[in-house]
């Protein structure tokens, strides 16, 4: 009698390639931890959403300042609880609308902000002392923060009353996003200046939001997202300490920004582990004493990369799943992507549906009624242990290389991300990874979509506006402010007061950035094979 061949069980893994067992038997070492207490695995607040929901902060910005102002007001009227600003590429990389480098890009992927006048328009009728604003801006973050401070002061609010965040994470730009201007050393100097300035002058502001989001969207695993983000955080913290700042003077105002993609349990575990490891790093490596210094506070955005141009209404479901994972993971702030973002900037109606998704999760789902409702899940807890172990391995390896900056210069982060991105793409191409509506359950004919279109004439309109500004301002005052700022850039003195003076003299985003280009030069990445 011939023996039957045993059926080989298909290996099931998470998006980060962590094996998934058929079932899980027992709770693990973190099951005795409490929310609001070190190491904060179960949340940074004892009451979490029982006491207060996360900030519902929808990312928006397009066209000129007037158009974006109307969208911000609309979303605030619909129940959004914080503003999140998207800037166009010229603003992000320090070019004015009349620069040849800005041609075809003005107002396309975000709002065009080229002067204090634009910033005053974008916040017309919005009281900055009463709202929290997040700005996704990096290379020109110091300039945009200066605009914001100046607008707040013109409305009667001191800088000490302003609340919000500047992303200002240049290290991940060299790794994943590429909207850098200056080389790493002067870029880190600008970030250090902002952190030091905000510690005393804008104490309710988060001057840096250390971002795993773009690392994940570039193709990293969940483990790599945490490890590389925390390694970057260590680099920023050390930069501040080397400048003479004390850890508890600035660490409470450090924040983070993570992606939440579709692997539900792994994403929840990722957020829990990130809090735990960060708390241990701050306590054991940097000897922080203030409990607030140990708390990893983070904003989450659902994954734009996971959205599909095919059958875009399916994206509403994807975003709902991702937003639930972010909330179950304990986020402090959340942006939910819109259904049409794989095709264009979101329409007003799509943005409203994305906001309503958050509101339904918060008010109707019941998952906010208890703190850390996923705790005790055998599967989740074991995932946490595995992610934690792999993350520590990465952090030790990066330390041996000399830290995040050295690892980035060697191309280590980039190579690791590329390898995983290739794996994911290969799985989609060979149909082993299902994308509903793309490589399975596809429609032969796609329904026509109503998309937001940015008028190509906007660039010319903004060109005229910037030229009119240069004619109407006191150019002697502007030149003097820029000249003083340049001389300070050549010293070790904090640049923020001089950037603020230049902004108030109506220096433009491009003029301020070009002044720094003269002193710092521009970054050109090495070819890495």
The residues, any chain, with a CB within 8 Å of residue 405's CB and separated by 6 or more, are: 171, 184, 188, 235
Q: Which of 126, 161, 167, 174 is nearest to 144 (CA)?
A: 167
Name which residue leads in pLDDT, 187 or 21: 187
Instruction: Examine the pLDDT at 3 and tell me if it is beyond 70.
Output: no
Q: What pLDDT is attached to residue 59?
A: 81
Tell me the per-residue pLDDT of 288-298, one tens digit each, with 9 for 90 and over.
999 999 999 99
Distances in whole angstroms, Cα of residue 217 to Cα of each of 213, 221, 306, 410, 422: 6, 9, 9, 21, 13
Judge whether 498 lies within some domain.
no
Q: Percentage of residues in the chain with pLDDT exceeding 70?
A: 96
Please count the structural domains in the chain: 1
* In a domain? residue 519: no
pLDDT at 408 over 90: yes
Does residue 155 contact residue 491 with C-beta atoms inside 8 Å?
Answer: no
**If pLDDT is split at 50, 70 and 90, which confidence band does 17 have?**
confident
Which pLDDT score, from 0 to 100, does residue 125 have?
Answer: 96
- Specify the range with the lowest mean pLDDT, choosing from 57-61, 191-195, 406-410, 425-429: 57-61
User: d(Cα 529, Cα 524) in Å, to the nearest integer?
Assistant: 16
Q: How far is CA 501 from the centre of its chain?
A: 28
Residues in the chain, overall count: 529
Q: Answer for the pair 300, 341: CB distance below 8 angstroms, yes or no.
A: no
Domain hosting residue 385, numbered range: 35-429
Q: What CA–CA distance (Å, rounded) separates 427 from 500?
A: 50
What sign results for the dihedral spanned by CA atoms 231, 232, 235, 240? negative
501 within a domain of the structure (yes/no): no
At 473, the pLDDT band (50, 70, 90 cuts) reads very high
Q: Looking at residue 259, what DSSP letter applies?
A: E
Q: What's the CATH number where 227 sits?
A: 3.20.20.240
How confident is the model over 19-48, as a mean pLDDT?
80
The strand pairing partners of 210, in sequence order, are 256
What backbone torsions phi and psi does residue 475 show, to the nearest 5 degrees?
-65, -30
Structural domain contains residue 436 = no
Q: How confident is the model at residue 463 (pLDDT cuts 50, 70, 90)?
A: very high
How much is the pLDDT for 21? 77
Q: Mind listing the pLDDT tens digit for each residue in 105-161?
A: 999 999 999 999 999 999 999 999 999 999 999 999 999 999 999 999 999 999 999
Nearest-CA neighbor of 267 among 244, 298, 293, 246? 298
> Is residue 402 over pLDDT 90?
yes
Using CA atoms, how far apart are residues 310 and 307, in angstroms rounded to an integer?
Answer: 9
Is residue 19 predicted with pLDDT exceeding 70?
A: yes
Each residue's pLDDT tens digit, 340-390: 999 988 999 999 999 999 999 999 998 898 889 898 899 999 999 999 999
- 3-state class (DSSP) for residue 205: strand
What confidence score (pLDDT) does residue 525 get? 81
Q: Identify whether 465 is part of a domain.
A: no
* Cβ(274)–Cβ(43) below 8 Å: no
Q: Is residue 525 part of a domain?
A: no
Chain CA centroid to CA 44, Å: 19
Burial of 327 (0-12, 13-18, 19+ CB in 10 A): buried
Residue 334's CB: how many other CB atoms inside 10 A? 26
Is there a domain that residue 494 lies in?
Answer: no
- Please check the confidence at residue 6 and state whether its pLDDT lies above 60: no
Q: What band does 529 get if pLDDT is binned at 50, 70 and 90?
A: very low
Residue 384 included in any domain = yes
Q: Span 306-332, mean pLDDT?
A: 96
Sheet (strand 298-302) strand order = 205-206, 163-166, 132-136, 82-86, 55-60, 333-335, 298-302, 254-260, 208-211
Structure tokens at 396: 């030790």
Whether residue 311 is predicted with pLDDT greater than 90 in this model: the reply is yes
């Amino acid at each position: 009698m011939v023996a039957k061949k045993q059926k080989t069980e298909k290996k099931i893994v998470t998006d980060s390639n962590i094996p998934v067992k058929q079932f899980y038997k027992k709770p693990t070492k973190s099951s005795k931890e409490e929310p609001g207490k070190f190491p904060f695995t179960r949340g940074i607040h004892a009451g979490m959403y029982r006491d207060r929901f996360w900030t519902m902060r929808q990312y928006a910005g397009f066209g000129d300042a007037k158009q974006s102002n109307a969208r911000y007001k609309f979303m605030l009227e619909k129940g959004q609880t914080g503003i999140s600003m998207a800037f166009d590429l010229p603003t992000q990389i320090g070019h004015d609308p009349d620069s040849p480098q800005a041609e075809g890009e003005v107002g396309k992927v975000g709002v065009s902000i080229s002067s204090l006048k634009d910033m005053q328009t974008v916040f017309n009728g919005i009281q900055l002392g009463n709202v929290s604003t997040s700005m996704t801006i990096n290379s020109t973050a110091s300039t945009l923060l200066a605009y914001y401070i100046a607008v707040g002061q013109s409305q009667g609010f001191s800088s000490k009353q302003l609340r919000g965040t500047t992303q200002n994470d240049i290290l991940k730009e060299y790794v994943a996003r590429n909207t850098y201007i200056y080389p790493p050393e002067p870029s880190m100097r600008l970030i250090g200046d902002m952190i030091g300035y905000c510690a005393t002058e804008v104490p309710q502001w988060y001057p840096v939001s250390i971002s795993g989001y773009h690392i994940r969207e570039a193709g990293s695993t969940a483990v790599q997202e945490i490890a590389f983000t925390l390694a970057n955080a260590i680099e920023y913290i050390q930069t501040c300490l080397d400048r003479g700042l004390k850890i508890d003077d600035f660490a409470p105002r450090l924040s983070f920004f993570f992606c939440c993609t579709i692997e539900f349990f792994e994403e929840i575990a990722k957020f829990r582990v990130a809090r735990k490891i960060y708390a241990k790093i701050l306590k054991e490596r940097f000897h922080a004493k203030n409990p607030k210094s140990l708390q990893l506070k983070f904003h989450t955005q659902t994954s734009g990369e996971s959205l599909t141009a095919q059958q875009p209404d399916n994206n509403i479901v994807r975003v709902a799943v991702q937003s639930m994972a972010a909330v179950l993971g304990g986020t402090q702030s959340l942006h939910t992507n819109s259904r049409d973002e794989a095709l264009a900037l979101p329409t007003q109606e799509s943005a409203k549906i994305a906001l309503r998704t958050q509101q339904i999760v918060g008010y109707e789902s019941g998952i906010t009624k208890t703190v850390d409702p996923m705790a005790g899940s055998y599967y989740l807890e074991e995932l946490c242990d595995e992610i934690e172990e792999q993350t520590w391995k990465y952090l030790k390896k990066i330390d041996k290389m000399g830290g995040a900056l050295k690892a980035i210069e060697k191309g280590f982060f980039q190579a690791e991300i590329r390898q995983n991105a290739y794996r994911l793409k290969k799985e989609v191409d060979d149909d082993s990874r299902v994308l509903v509506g793309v490589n399975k359950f596809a429609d032969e004919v796609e329904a026509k979509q109503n998309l937001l279109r940015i008028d190509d004439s906007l660039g010319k309109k903004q060109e005229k506006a910037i030229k009119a500004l240069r004619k109407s301002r006191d150019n002697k005052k502007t030149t003097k402010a820029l000249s003083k700022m340049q001389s300070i850039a050549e010293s070790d003195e904090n640049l923020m007061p001089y950037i603020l003076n230049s902004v108030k003299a109506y220096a433009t985003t491009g003029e301020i950035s070009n002044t720094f280009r003269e002193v710092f030069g521009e970054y050109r990445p090495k070819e890495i094979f």
